Amino acid sequence: MNTPLRILLVEDSEDDAQLVLVELRRAGYQVVFERVATELDLEAALDRGAWDVIVADFSMPGFSGRAALDIVLRRGLDTPFVFVSGTIGEDTAVEAMKAGAGDYVMKENLRRLVPAIERELREATVRRERHAAEEALRRSEARFATVVAASPVGMSLSTLGEGRYVDVNPSFLRMLGYVRDQIVGRTAAELGVWANPAERDGVIAELQRSGAITNRDVAVRTKNGEVRSTLCNFELIETGGESCLAAFVVDVTERRRLEEQLEQAQRLEAIGRLAAGVAHDFNNLLTVVIGCCDLVSDGERGGESPPPEIAEIRRAAEAAAALTRQLLAFGRKQVLQPRQVDVSEVVGQAGKLLERLIGAHVELVTRLAPAGSAVVLADRSQLEQVIVNLAVNARDAMAGGGRLRIETAVVELDREDAARIAAGRQGRFVRLTVADSGAGMDANTLDHLFEPFFTTKEVGKGTGLGLATVYGVVAQSGGFLHVESEPGRGSEFEVYLPWIEGSALPEKRPTPAPPASDGKETILLVEDDNAVRELTHRLLQQLGYTVLAAPEGSSAMRLVREHSGPIHLMITDLVMPGMSGRTLAERVLEIRPDVRVLLTSGYASEDALRSGLLAGELAYLEKPFSSSALAQKVRELLALG
């Protein structure tokens, strides 16, 4: 057959790649190939040229076939993609095919490879031909749209000179709110259809130069005066011996609104990832700062008191830690402890605190759903923080006094409600409303409302993190926000959290912790940040513990296997390169099931969010931590043994 075939192999094994090539050459293909095993190499190979087919291993060190598929799909390529793997399960394979893969072939059954590739090549050819036919049909429909009276696209025909409407279709009438007799025979200028009348002259001039205009954004005014966004195609045609302007109009007002909402959500998501990353690294630095302050303070007990600057440094570090917690809340990387809570109860119990916060010049009015009805799955302390932050924001908007209204209700959102609310979804939700009678906000302020450090207050009057924290907590709890405000008419914040059937669980009272005393146990310390590892090592040694230290998971596993004595406790960072703390804990417990585990981190990774950490399965110590907090937590865990 000797058919040429350009194949891109995403494979870390040269031997496995050769097996694929042997099968293709045996089938008569003249193969031109390139093998890549990393994301960068794949991107470069895709940049260099087009490929007939991509064959990818599913599991590779540091990279995966699924990640390769995502890159291909993100580029919008229609290149056939086939998995060849020895480990992929049927469920995983089905999910991969739903995501866009063409087929999968097990390495022990490579006889299926050539038929699978040939089928995918045929289907790709059919798709290309179909796409070409569909594009030709679309152009044909645009040219003949003037005779499609039932078209969902608004169509109008007006004289070139006066702009007098000769004919319009029902879609055009519905769009502008007219009946036929009100528009035919009158001019666009008389009706004020063009929101910018001069734009019509520009369209005609461009048509006379180019012959047609497609996908032109035009603002039109309806009968009731509302300005709508439309996407228009224009052509000059001759009808009845007179030159006319044919317009094909689609109302994209709602689509533009959704695009703006999506753009804002994507912007907030990107800022959230950046904020969480910065907070993670900053928390490591703060751990060292606070720990070193504790070392200096504790080391001077027998002599002179430490200089007062040490206490100032520690206070500043703790203030910085509070800021990073707010950034983590915005980035949805905080560790939550969700429980069934009654939002009405939380608001009711916060009433006294809210009255003190807002002051006597603001009237507080609450309207709460019946007890036990507004139940959600959320972290109670974080929900309280949401209520406090919204109340403080409302107070600041009512400098001269006013009215703060807080309501809770169980609501059912239908499709229309979901379309009205940014990020809205259908279903039953608990709605928490915090409304004020204050100054209100303009459109520009609303666009940036939840961004970290964005504030309309004077310098020094706020961090700009209060509403960012609200956004992060609500999003991480599975909910969404809706805000309505106008200058001079106050603001109304609506928090929607998924309603659950059940009753609020009683709060757990913390059990008294054993005193933090010197210990003699052996502790395995795993931390990839050198400064944090060295400081924690020193703190634990001062408490009398024997410490085995490792910079990452593989080194820790080697220590676990080689250490002849007992290991009583493992302290490991949750987020590490190569092997996460969660995975390391699972592997260590397989070998030494009696080892206690303490996870530490400056933020909650995706691994933590998916694991049992949030349910309290493993102990957790948030960075930055003090020497006393570390000692206390270690003693608590060792006392359990």
Stretch 390-402: mean pLDDT: 85
In a domain, 516, yes or no: no
Element (H, E) at 432: strand 427-436
CATH number at residue 350: 3.30.565.10
Strand pairing partners for 256? Answer: none
* Secondary structure class of 488 (helix, strand, coil): coil
pLDDT category of residue 388 using cuts at 50, 70 and 90: confident
pLDDT over threshold 70, residue 506? no
Instruction: Specify the length of the chain in residues.
Output: 641
In a domain, 130, yes or no: yes
In a domain, 333, yes or no: no
Same domain, 451 and 346: yes
Same domain, 344 and 309: no
Whether residue 61 has a cis bond before it, omega within 30° of 0:
no
In a domain, 508, yes or no: no
pLDDT over threshold 90, residue 352? no
CB atoms near residue 628 (< 10 Å): 12
Higher pLDDT, 299 or 9: 9
Same domain, 135 and 149: no
Read off the pLDDT of residues 333-345 as tens digits, 9 standing for 90 and up.
555 567 788 999 8
Alpha-carbon span 624 to 619, nearest angstrom:
16
pLDDT over threshold 90, residue 441? no
Q: What is the pLDDT of residue 641?
A: 59
Q: What is the pLDDT of residue 504?
A: 61
CA geometry: angle 534, 573, 559, nearest 5 deg: 70
Alpha-carbon span 306 to 444, nearest angstrom:
50
% residues pLDDT > 90 (the chain): 24
Same domain, 295 and 153: no
Read off the pLDDT of residues 582-618 as tens digits, 9 standing for 90 and up.
889 999 999 999 999 998 876 655 454 444 444 445 7
CATH number at residue 228: 3.30.450.20
Looking at 276, 293, 324, the residue that finishes a domain is: 324
pLDDT category of residue 269 using cuts at 50, 70 and 90: low
Q: What is the pLDDT of residue 524?
A: 94
Evaluate whether 424 touches 497 at the Cβ level (below 8 Å): no
Q: Which of 79-88, 285-294, 401-410 has the lowest mean pLDDT?
A: 285-294
Residues of the domain holding 210: 145-251
Stretch 512-522: mean pLDDT: 63
Same domain, 462 and 477: yes
* Pick from 109, 96, 106, 34: nearest CA to 68: 96
Same domain, 136 and 157: no
In a domain, 213, yes or no: yes
Same domain, 315 and 429: no
Looking at 301, 324, 347, the residue that finishes a domain is: 324
Q: Which of 52-56, 163-167, 311-315, 474-478 has the lowest mean pLDDT?
A: 311-315
Compute the 3-state secondary structure of the chain and give helix, strand, coil in percent, each to the nearest 5: 45, 25, 30
Same domain, 82 and 192: no
Q: What is the pLDDT of residue 610?
A: 44
In a domain, 505, yes or no: no
Alpha-carbon span 83 to 585, nearest angstrom:
31
pLDDT category of residue 312 using cuts at 50, 70 and 90: confident
Tell me the Ramachandran region of residue 136: left when phi exceeds 0, alpha when psi lies from -120 to 50, beta otherwise: alpha
Stretch 85-92: mean pLDDT: 78
pLDDT over threshold 80, residue 498? yes
Tokens representing residue 172 in the block: 């055009």
Q: What is the pLDDT of residue 331?
A: 46
Mean pLDDT: which of 184-193, 387-396, 451-460 is highest?
184-193
* Pick from 349, 413, 406, 411: nearest CA to 381: 349
Q: What is the pLDDT of residue 330?
A: 46
pTM above 0.75, yes or no: no
Alpha-carbon span 342 to 349, nearest angstrom:
11
% residues pLDDT > 70 (the chain): 80
Same domain, 409 and 529: no
pLDDT over threshold 50, residue 147? yes
Q: What is the pLDDT of residue 178?
A: 92
Read off the pLDDT of residues 456-493 as tens digits, 9 standing for 90 and up.
555 444 555 667 778 777 887 888 888 888 888 889 99
Q: Which of 73-77, 239-243, 429-433 has the lowest mean pLDDT?
A: 239-243
Question: For all residues of the chain together, what is the average pLDDT?
Answer: 81
CA 407 to centroid of chain Cα atoms: 28
Question: Considering its fold, how many domains does the chain have in total?
Answer: 5
Looking at 450, 466, 498, the residue that finishes a domain is: 498
In a domain, 106, yes or no: yes
| φ, ψ for residue 508, nearest 5 deg | -80, 130
pLDDT over threshold 90, residue 8? yes
Helix locations, 350-379, DSSP H: 351-358
Same domain, 361 and 491: yes
Same domain, 359 and 487: yes
Higher pLDDT, 10 or 301: 10
In a domain, 510, yes or no: no
Stretch 10-26: mean pLDDT: 90
Q: What is the pLDDT of residue 218?
A: 92
Higher pLDDT, 587 or 99: 587
* Pick from 320, 334, 278: nearest CA to 475: 334
Same domain, 400 and 458: yes
384's CB contacts (< 8 A; 6+ apart) are 346, 350
pLDDT over threshold 60, residue 350? yes
CATH number at residue 124: 3.40.50.2300
